[in-house]
Structure 1
Amino acid sequence: MLARNDQNSLRRTPLYGLHVSLGGKMVPFAGYEMPVQYPAGVLKEHLHTRTAAGLFDVSHMGQIALRPKSGRVEDAAKALERLVPQDIMALAPGRQRYAQFTNEDGGILDDLMVANFGDHLFLVVNAACKAEDEAHLRAHLSDDCTIDSLADRALIALQGPKAEFVLAKFCAEAPSMKFMDAGPHKVDGIECFVSRSGYTGEDGFEISVPAGDAERLAKALLENSDVLPIGLGARDSLRLEAGLCLYGHDIDTTTTPVEAALEWSVQKSRRTGGARAGGFPGAEKILSQFDQGASRRRVGLRAEGRAPVREGAPLFADATSGEPIGKVTSGGFGPSLNAPVAMGYVPTAQSALGTQLFAEVRGQRLALQVAAMPFVKNTYKR
């Protein structure tokens, strides 16, 4: 179970004691005490994940089972499609898909992963939104589904080019899994839910494990010299290099999937013709943006200098004059690139690759260009 630290009201994951024993620097994050880094430091943790394997505690995320009352998983999928613009009914057993909960204005309430486990759907949602997400599901889907919050499970991620080699020693099926495969598997004899996915841009796995077994499994994985524990600092720089959105920063209730450059996540069956197009909150606005375009767009940004451009920095079309045209939503130094990278929103007219923009940092306007994402090529096993 996730424990609460009454001294400061922050919650603790089942791996809190392990983090402390490994020298993790604990900080508040989404209502939890989480490790921002370990003694190796953010830079080494980041580069180690890119070259070997990193182990992440993501137990603060929400895990939810959506069980159809009819006993037919397709009925749970059909029900969930009332809340997301993705094609869930076409999701085959053993597969996972990225999705978003949207509101009536087309904004994103949260982004999530949805897996078809054959007899029910398994959802992973963001830590800061999980209470609201569960309430949202109960308010709209309770007639069709039983919504179970799986608070007695931890979630760990093993990421990097050596992740398959490491996990194969504990899970015989791991090497045969492809990107976005997901389902129940035994890991070191423990009944787990395993998906070949993650949020680093690297090949890897996310493992949902009963809370009581989490520390034993994490320690077993860490016994391999290729595996280092990785904190929130490197997790953020890895996902930024991968061009992946962080909820509450790059996407929120004011951004639509189209504005966020997430069109790829909305399947054709939900947006063009046919009986299943639309039917989700904000469909009118989102589908009109598919047809007519949106006024702004999330883009990648590469600075021409060495100074990182951080979240909140205003963006300008001109080096010396004019009003802001957008802002940076994520930014920092990319260790794999040895250069700063950022993401932000700009008018669609200024979103073409190579467009020169300027970010205001400490009173100075720094030159940058709209750049392709991901900044570092992903290594997913297709």
Structure 2
Amino acid sequence: MSDLKSLTLDALHRELGGKMVPFAGYDMPVQYPAGVMKEHQHTRAAAGLFDVSHMGQVILRGESYEEAALALETLIPVNVAGLAEGRQRYGFFTNDQGGILDDLMFANRGDHIFVVVNAACKDQDIALLQNGLPDGVAVEVIEDRALLALQGPEAEAVLATLNPAVADMTFMDVAVLDLNGAECWISRSGYTGEDGYEISVPNEAADAFARALLADERVLPIGLGARDSLRLEAGLCLYGNDIDAGTSPVEAALTWGIQKVRRTGGARAGGFPGADRILTELDSGTDRVRVGLKPQTRAPMRDGVALFASDDAGEDGGDQIGHVTSGGFGPTVGGPVAMGYVPTAHAAPGTVLYGDVRGKRLAVEVVALPFVAANFKR
């Protein structure tokens, strides 16, 4: 454990009673004294503050935004060049086999691209950018800023007490604004399904900024436990579980992230790693797909649970047809929820499958995602 990295706000998390656990090479708070259930429910009802400083922050600079954008398009199957200034978009790095190396967020900040990548893949992603982009595009790794997420229906009202201009932002807008005396890079986004913001703040200002937010009675600190249950209810993928280097964006039901200009016809169609497979799957479909799963008992079905078409585990019970990739209790749903991969022929909502839980096959229904409707400010 001595090799674990500490967050800038490590002392604050411990002061707040955070239970620290290793995650993606960092010492991270998994929960606070309120507990995962209360933290989850509070985020859905008011506002929760998450420390996501373990994630990677990177700036890409070319002679112009367009130069950097077209270069990045050689690594991701997403419309980067067409993104308007002051806007952010979801994307993913792909490999030559059409699998997902990581998912990411990127923003058009006028003269450069701001990229946020997952902590577990951070070193790999930075190396990919440094080695995969032309010499004319500089890759600047940001190591002197914390990253905090304020999420929930009260997030706007809370953050607006520090700068009213945040209320003018809508979902996926980005801005540079003064918050609590510090220059902050802000996006109206997050990974909970709720309205909210992600805020990059200078390390030296992070403690005072976090305390200013936590001083508001509408805000509670939230750990990794509730972050996971919130994103699961929102039907959002966790890299390494729901998507990985062997999973294509089409299998993962992320086709909405591949804009038309990168799909067919025109000078910018294709041209990204794994394009042959991904474009073929967009046209012809896939053998399997990620779906929502609603267990029909109170028993959660967690990562790795095998899925079958029949409840008969005997000689004629059939072979395993799929598996759960994420699962647990959904506090807002009031019962267990899960996601996983099943054959396309078994992917229609309403289909009943069976998960093997401790040797028993229990019914699970295929359902549409998300489990809890998104609450973004459009």
Query: Aligned residues, how many?
Result: 374
- Distance in 2, Cα, partners of 1:28 & 1:56: 16
Q: Deviations over 1:336-378 (max 9, x none)?
A: 0111000000111111111110000000011011001110011
Q: Deviations over 1:184-234 (max 9, x none)?
A: 111112101000000000000000001111111000000000000000000
Unaligned runs of 5+ in 1: 1-6
Aligned-residue identity in percent: 62
Matched, 1:293 2:293: no
Runs of 4+, deviation exceeding 3 Å:
none
**1:269 corresponds to:** 261
- Distance in 1, Cα, partners of 2:209 & 2:94: 36
- Written as runs of structure 1 = structure 2, the 5 A alignment for 1:60-71 is 60-68=54-62, 70=63
- Distance in 1, Cα, partners of 2:110 & 2:165: 17
Q: Deviations over 1:269-308 (max 9, x none)?
A: 0002111110000000000000000111000000111111
- Distance in 2, Cα, partners of 1:267 & 1:144: 26
The secondary structure found in structure 2 opposite 1:353 is: coil
Q: Deviations over 1:132-165 (max 9, x none)?
A: 1010001011413110100111000000000000
Q: Is the 8 A contact 2:150 2:198 kept in 1?
A: yes
Q: Is the 8 A contact 2:51 2:149 kept in 1?
A: yes
TM-score of the two chains, using structure 1 as the length reference: 0.97
Matched, 1:39 2:33: yes
- Written as runs of structure 1 = structure 2, the 5 A alignment for 1:100-139 is 100-139=92-131
Q: Is the 8 A contact 1:94 1:116 kept in 2?
A: yes
**1:4 corresponds to:** none
**1:56 corresponds to:** 50
Counterpart code for 2:203: A
Matched, 1:241 2:233: yes
**2:272 corresponds to:** 280
**2:7 corresponds to:** 13
170, 186, 193: which one aligns with 1:194: 186
- Distance in 2, Cα, partners of 1:86 & 1:212: 35
The secondary structure found in structure 1 opposite 2:340 is: strand
- Distance in 2, Cα, partners of 1:176 & 1:369: 41
351, 358, 368: which one aligns with 1:372: 368
Q: CA deviation at 1:176?
A: 0.4
87, 101, 110: which one aligns with 1:95: 87
Counterpart code for 2:337: V
- Distance in 1, Cα, partners of 2:134 & 2:59: 12
Counterpart code for 1:304: Q
The secondary structure found in structure 2 opposite 1:128 is: coil
301, 307, 310: which one aligns with 2:299: 307
Q: Is the 8 A contact 2:184 2:202 kept in 1?
A: yes
356, 362, 367: which one aligns with 1:360: 356
The secondary structure found in structure 1 opposite 2:121 is: helix
The secondary structure found in structure 2 opposite 1:208 is: strand
- Distance in 2, Cα, partners of 1:287 & 1:61: 30
- Distance in 1, Cα, partners of 2:61 & 2:11: 33
**2:17 corresponds to:** 23
Q: Is the 8 A contact 1:79 1:144 kept in 2?
A: no
Counterpart code for 2:244: D
Counterpart code for 2:344: T
**2:221 corresponds to:** 229
Q: CA deviation at 1:253?
A: 0.1
Q: Is the 8 A contact 2:303 2:327 kept in 1?
A: yes
Q: CA deviation at 1:172?
A: 2.2
**2:206 corresponds to:** 214
CA 1:142 to 1:273, structure 2 compared with 1: closer, same or farther past 3 Å? closer
333, 336, 346: which one aligns with 1:337: 333
- Distance in 1, Cα, partners of 2:134 & 2:3: 31
TM-score of the two chains, using structure 2 as the length reference: 0.98
Counterpart code for 1:119: D
Q: Is the 8 A contact 2:234 2:373 kept in 1?
A: yes
Counterpart code for 2:305: A
**1:3 corresponds to:** none
- Distance in 2, Cα, partners of 1:75 & 1:352: 42
